[in-house]
Amino acid sequence: MFQCVCPKLEQILAIIFLSLSLAFPVKSADAGRGERVEVNNGVVATDETECSRIGRDTLARGGLAVDAAVAATLCIGVLGPADSGLGGGGFILVRSANGEAKVFGMIEMAPGRANKWKVSPLSIAVPGQLAGLFTVHKLYGKLPWTSLVKPAEALARKGFNVSRSLFHKMATAESNIMANEELRSIFAPNGQILNQGQTVCLRKLADTLAAIAKHGMKIFYNRSIAESLAEDIKRVSGIVTKEDFQKYQVITREPLVAHVLGYKILTVPPPASGGAVVILILKTLSKYKDKDILPTPLQVHRTIEALKYALALRMNLGDPEFVNITSTLKLMISNSTAEKLGSLIDDNKTFDPSHYGSKWDQLNDHGTNHICIVDRQHNVVSMTTSINTKWGSKVMSPSTGIFLNNQMYYFSNPTSKFRPGAPANFVSPFKRPLSSLSPVILEKGGRVRACIGSGGGLLIPDAVTQVLQNFFIVKKPSFDAVKAPRFYHRDYSSGIGDRYTYSSEILKELKKRGHHLRRAISGMTTCQFFSFSFFFVFDELTTCQSVVQILEGSKNGQLVAISDPRKGGFPAGY
């Protein structure tokens, strides 16, 4: 068994797809520095430029949004194996051009021998990504499955250039890679870690993709790949069996729906919790009449306080197949709860953790990848995938080349030392863990106006909320809304700023109100988004990764995509 044990990376990558108000925005002085594409038909935005191009090419040869999502996601698993891949899972939100929307839960599943008393950071759950991709393709895809897998297979077999992001993750794991013969042969073939721009090949993974291209998901969950993975997991004392693979099923649900500021929000219901958190925070902040231009100490303070209440509430959520979460979910998306939280927030001070209703330890989820796609017919896909921490369980299956997840770590721990683990999220056999993933699609007047999502684990709701707040409440120009400083709240202290920092005046005022602040790592979140506009009114979209404008009703129906300076990936369209 080949293991890559790398230290936990503090840098969390996030991709966000967003929209803004119908009012004509003021052009940002920084927008249009070359991180821009103008197209007429469809756009794919991922955190890997080559994967965006593969998705775009899929659309250009007649594919639909789901086709492009399959091709681009498999590509991401090759170019970014530390964050996502066949060994992981996630959620897919699909909105068809006819207005119908569905959620496909492909989050990992606890194995049949799972025990809530034996969960460690290396715990491997049953992967769900391939089942999710295959399911949505069967329902919504147009192009042959094989043709969608082949581009990722070719990249893995022929090799690809090491990106800045992958080089950083390899470098932090250098000692562990050098100590393992197989990993050394892949990532350090000449005795030292490959540099950015050098070529890396993943031939075992290419063989796995070739088998999947030919046989679909059956070979992964019911045949030889399932057998190989189960044996490889067993060799590192894992408990996932071939029978667990056979039992895995994608869970299809209706989207969680709420209305905020005249927009209809479609997002992913539990066991994903990020969408409910974002809805509650935005509803709470929208109740204030004094919507000052951000950033002001008061607005930042209110947002941090709303986050504390929302994060405390969300720990009562869990897998609805195992726990009754109906009342908690209704509470989180109700207007009355938002009104109450607004009245509880004191503009002049913060409180002890017990004041916010926190009884349970928070989640410990980590980085992910997000992808958003719109095709020529205006079918939309918003999808987040993950293997949890960087390099997942730190275990690479030698027979398949797949890096395996450690999503069992998403479950709450009953022996937590800080605060008790949340009972609704305790491990049970075949249960899905609670997560912060939050793919979102926004509508207005029955038409799609935006697609948003994020990576970054526990920090996902923080990033999504702040960019949406900048657009919908403060009416910032899109590029400025994305570039603006961000804070990240965790464990009742707040990380302030990343690449772009708050002023000393704001930090001073926050400390005066009682906030415990620490410097955040640069690039903890990056953003991306698409939006649609109608009747000659255009919406600029932004995400930490790219911004998209759609002039629906203009002469040419132009699409404009702009990349955020925090991340190296670029969108691609045609």
Catalytic status, residue 368: yes
Is 387 annotated as a binding-site member? yes
User: Residue range 124-140: average pLDDT?
Assistant: 99
Q: What is the pLDDT of residues 410-431, one digit of tens each?
A: 999 888 777 889 999 999 999 9
386 is in an annotated binding site: yes
Catalytic residue among 135, 368, 385, 400: 368
Instruction: Identify which has the larger pLDDT, 267 or 505.
Output: 267
Q: What is the pTM of this model?
A: 0.88
Q: Is 397 annotated as a binding residue?
A: no
Segment 549-572 mean pLDDT: 54
- Give the pLDDT score at 47: 82
Band of the pLDDT at 449, cuts 50, 70, 90? confident
Res. 543: pLDDT tops 60: no
Asked whether residue 62 is marked as a ligand-binding residue, the answer is no
Domains of the chain by start residue, with CATH:
10-159+201-254+363-565 (3.60.20.40), 160-200 (no CATH), 270-356 (1.10.246.130)
| Interval 315-323 mean pLDDT | 97
What is d(CA 287, CA 197) in angstroms, rounded to the nearest whole number? 50
Three-state secondary structure of 142-153: CCCHHHHHHHHH
Chain centroid to CA 371: 8
Give yes or no for a contact between 527 and 19, defined as CB atoms under 8 angstroms apart.
Answer: no
Rg of the chain taking only CA atoms, in angstroms: 22
Beta partners for residue 105, in sequence order: 91, 251
For residue 234, pLDDT over 80 is answered with yes
pLDDT of residue 495: 56
Per DSSP, the three-state class of 76 is helix
Round to whole Å and give the CA distance between 285 and 261.
10
The pLDDT tens digits of the residues spanning 159-203 come to 999 998 899 989 988 887 898 787 888 999 999 999 999 999 999
Side-chain-facing half-sphere of 518: CA atoms under 13 Å: 9
